[in-house]
């Protein structure tokens, strides 16, 4: 069976891969340029690497290789510094992040606690701004021992499917999206100083010890044509063709305590030609079985801000 590298990498970043999947991914990152490049795209490094002519595959292989001496790692430090990258090596995992300047003044683009929101559309990726759309979900009040993180309502994920989805039983990730129009802020974005920051809270009812769930947020920078022409609904186009994208680093594992919410934050420096951003909330199921349903998994208190930071040199 052909490996879905997008799903496998997302599951790895959410910390819910099996030992076999982790071994497959690690081996493929060392051997296959396409997989290495895709992995680093998820880590939001492609822009920095291209700017400094560093091979994505070369960086990934070096990071994943077991260095015989400390000298090999120090040989890479000048390259990392030149690209503005921060690397951390712990066991077989890789922690990679862009070095960002200090935050400046923030402008709120969205503050969503689902109090007045209309029911989410079950149509997958939206092509019009201002409406939540994605997999099967509903807006609910307090239930099953879970209280909303903010206000009196919250979003509940139901299944990893939507109307018209091909192979609805194949996915283990339930998503909810919102498209945000940034064209009124073109002047702020044009000089490369604009950063979008997204945070959201996730929770779940108690579940068995043999189950594992992760949560994450992703941000995609899009131009007007891609955001509205429907191409983001086709396959993995949103992942592969966005101007830039990022996902919260490895996501968060959801605990079994319904009284606690897990807060997840991610940010993305916007390319100068950004017209829209797509916000995506994820719930990830570690169980490989058809027809995944979510007995009680929630998101709430979504905040999206536009921040001015120093332009990249």
Residues 182-236: tens digit of each pLDDT: 999 998 899 888 999 999 999 999 998 888 888 999 999 999 999 999 999 888 8
- Higher-confidence residue: 312 or 65? 312
Its pTM surpasses 0.85: no
Structural tokens at position 196? 């979008």
Q: What is the mean pLDDT of the chain?
A: 76
Residue 2 has pLDDT above 80, yes or no: no
Predicted local confidence at residue 87, as pLDDT: 37
User: For residues 55 and 73, what is the distance between their CA atoms, to the nearest angstrom?
Assistant: 16
Mean pLDDT value of segment 19-25? 76
DSSP the chain: ----HHHHHHHHHTT---HHHHHHHHHHHHH-HHHHHHHHHHTT-HHHHHHTT--HHHHHHHHHS--SSHHHHHHHHHHHHHHTEEEEEETTEEEEEE--PPP--EEEEEEE-SSSPPPPB-SSS-SSTT--EESSEEEE-SBTTB--SSTT-EEEEEES--TT-SSTTS--EEEEEEEEE-GGGHHHHTTS-EEEEEEEEEEE----TT--EEEEEEEEEE-HHHHHSSGGGSTTHHHHHSSEEEE-TT-EE--S-TT--EEEEEEEEPPTT--EEEEEEEEEE----SS-EEEEEEEEEEEEEEEE-PPP-
Both tokens assigned to 44? 């939001």
Angle between helices 19-31 and 56-64 (to 10 degrees): 130
pLDDT, tens digit (0-9, with 9 covering 90-100), for 275-284 = 999 999 988 8
* Residue 219 near residue 268, CB atoms below 8 Å: yes
What are the pLDDT digits (tens) for 98-152?
A: 322 334 568 899 999 999 767 899 988 999 999 999 999 999 999 999 999 999 9
- Second-level CATH architecture of 106-308: Sandwich (2.60)
Cα separation of 100 and 308, whole Å? 11
Burial class (CB in 10 A: 0-12, 13-18, 19+), 299: buried
Phi/psi at 302 (5° precision) = -85, 130
- Residue 150 and residue 191 in contact, taking contact as beta carbons nearer than 8 Å: no
* Residue with token string 């002519």: 53
Quote the CA–CA distance of 299 and 57 in Å, as a whole number: 35
Give the integer Cα–Cα distance in Å for 222 and 201: 25
Q: Which two tokens stand for residue 291?
A: 């027809």
pLDDT value of residue 86: 39
Residues 33-58 pLDDT 10s:
777 777 766 554 444 444 444 444 55
Instruction: Give the start-to-end residue ranges of the domains of the chain.
Output: 5-98, 106-308
Per the structure block, which two tokens stand in for 149? 């993180």
- As given in the structure block, the two tokens for residue 197 are 């920051």
Q: Choose between 73 and 163: higher pLDDT.
A: 163
Q: Residue 156: pLDDT above 70?
A: yes
Asked whether the predicted pLDDT for residue 82 surpasses 70, the reply is no
């Amino acid at each position: 069976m052909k490996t879905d590298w997008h799903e496998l990498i997302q599951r790895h970043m959410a910390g819910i891969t099996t030992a076999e999947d982790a071994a497959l991914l690690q081996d493929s990152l060392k051997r296959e340029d396409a997989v290495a490049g895709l992995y680093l795209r998820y880590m939001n490094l492609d822009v920095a690497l291209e700017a400094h002519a560093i091979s994505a595959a070369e960086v990934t292989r070096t990071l994943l290789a077991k260095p015989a001496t400390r000298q090999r790692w120090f040989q890479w430090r000048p390259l990392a510094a030149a690209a503005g990258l921060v690397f951390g090596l712990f066991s077989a995992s890789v922690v990679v992040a862009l070095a960002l300047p200090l935050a400046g003044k923030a402008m709120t683009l969205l503050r969503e606690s689902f109090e007045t929101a209309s029911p989410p559309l079950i149509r997958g990726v939206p092509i019009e701004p201002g409406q939540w759309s994605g997999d099967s979900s509903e807006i609910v009040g307090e239930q099953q021992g879970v209280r909303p993180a903010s206000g009196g309502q919250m979003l509940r994920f139901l299944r990893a499917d939507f109307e018209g989805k091909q192979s609805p039983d194949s996915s283990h990730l339930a998503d909810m999206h919102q498209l945000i129009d940034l064209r009124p802020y073109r002047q702020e974005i044009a000089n490369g100083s604009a950063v979008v920051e997204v945070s959201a809270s996730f929770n779940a009812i108690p579940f068995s010890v043999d189950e594992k769930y992760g949560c994450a947020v992703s941000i995609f920078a899009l131009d007007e044509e891609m955001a509205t022409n429907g191409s983001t609904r086709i396959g993995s186009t949103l992942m592969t063709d966005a101007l830039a994208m990022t996902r919260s680093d490895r996501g968060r594992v959801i605990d079994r305590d319904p009284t606690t919410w897990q807060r997840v934050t991610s940010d993305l420096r916007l390319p100068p030609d950004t017209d829209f951003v797509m916000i995506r909330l994820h719930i990830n199921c570690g169980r490989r079985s058809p027809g995944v349903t979510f007995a009680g998994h929630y998101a709430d208190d979504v905040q999206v801000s536009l921040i001015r930071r120093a332009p990249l040199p």
